[in-house]
Amino acid sequence: MWLRQRQPELPSSLHRPAASGRVRRGWLIVGVLIAAVSILSVSSVVAQEDYERAVSTAPQPDDIGDGYELPAAQHVSPRSPWWYAADVVLLVIALVLVGMIAHRWRRRWMAVAVTVFCLGYFGFFRQGCVCPIGSIQNVTASLSQPDLAIPFVVILFFLLPLIAALLVGRVFCGGVCPLGAIQDLVLLRPVQLPHAVDRWGGKLRFVYLAAAVWFAAQLPPARDFIICRFDPFVGFFRLQGSGWMLTSGGVLLLVGTVVGRPYCRFLCPYGGLLSLVSRFGLRTVSITPDEELDCGLCSESCPFGAIRQLRADSADCMACARCFAHCPRQQYAWGEIELVEIEQLLEAGAADAAEKAEVSA
């Protein structure tokens, strides 16, 4: 059949270790994270003490005079625990859906639907908080200061996308992350960047990650959450923000119309963590539904430079489902094209040539 080609031998650099070894190492990484964060979060809850501000620290009516009355203290009502439960449930559902889309359903429009929903809920409704990206700082602060409490929902938001990456790849990036979603939806005319730009530019994520961990690990008042402070898109989610914040986000979105997800690829610290964990993934994204064709059409469709040597790179593939529609094997599986024998093509060509010869005669 004309669609079947001999699969070339892959370079030795692309051969991956056995799946069992990758999974064991990956689970070890996640297990250490779960154990460390859980132990410290429990100890921090036990170590909490009730805090009461002495009334004498504030000016008293007698000090002010003229019949001044101290106003009643106002407290912001805490968010209902049901809403936090809803956040976690929706996160899990979205991760599962993107995983199913990337590995079974393989439809781009489904990924777009999940992207739009997550942008609306985790982005504009929840105003970008809590998010796994910022949770890096909460976890770091808890590890450096054991008496600092960390909400259990923050631990889940930090760990669940990492566990999903270990199982099925970077599905959090595929449509669940609101920062990635807003960039994905503005991508209009993507251009391919040189591999060297992706390779070396991607290392900035780890520089940013190291800086974020360093500042979050400091004790007050030196501690600073720079990921949240310099979040380029939270101003859009909250419909307010400083001029430099809105400007930086606008510039990234403008660049993102031609360069696929510049923040995700070159700056996102949590994306750096996901790229490390996904290397040991149990299942990675396969471009074709069955056998590889090696036609190269998928490479042209990926706006993130995640397809190398005609294979999806597990560390960089964001499970966006764009490449599936460009794969002839996938089109055949959907019934959009037919396989034709070479002999049938030759016979059809000979018949057309004979017919044209009769007409011209």
pLDDT at 237 over 80: yes
Are the C-beta atoms of 274 and 205 separated by less than 8 Å?
Answer: no
Provide the residue type at 43 as one letter. Answer: S
Task: Report the C-alpha gap between 252 and 169 in whole angstroms.
Answer: 25
Report yes or no on 72 lying in a domain. no
Q: Residue 329 is part of which domain span? A: 20-45+81-333
Structure tokens at 358: 């009769």
pLDDT tens-digit map of 301-341 = 899 999 988 899 999 999 999 999 888 888 888 888 777 66
pLDDT tens-digit map of 34-77 = 565 555 555 544 444 454 555 555 666 666 666 777 777 777 67
Structure tokens at 182: 């807003």
Report yes or no on 176 lying in a domain. yes
pLDDT tens-digit map of 247-288 = 999 999 999 999 999 999 999 999 999 999 999 989 989 888
Report yes or no on 172 lying in a domain. yes
Task: Report the C-alpha gap between 120 and 123 in whole angstroms.
Answer: 5
What total of structural domains would you count in the chain? 1
Provide the residue type at 291 as one letter. Answer: E
Report yes or no on 54 lying in a domain. no
Report yes or no on 60 lying in a domain. no
Report yes or no on 347 lying in a domain. no
Confidence at residue 38, expressed as pLDDT on a 0 to 100 scale = 55
Confidence at residue 295, expressed as pLDDT on a 0 to 100 scale = 82
Report yes or no on 58 lying in a domain. no
Q: Of 18-32, 46-60, 125-139, 268-282, where does mean pLDDT reach its minimum?
A: 46-60
What is the pTM assigned to this prediction? 0.77
Structure tokens at 194: 């040189």
Q: Of 14-18, 186-190, 261-265, 294-298, where does mean pLDDT reach its minimum?
A: 14-18
Report yes or no on 233 lying in a domain. yes
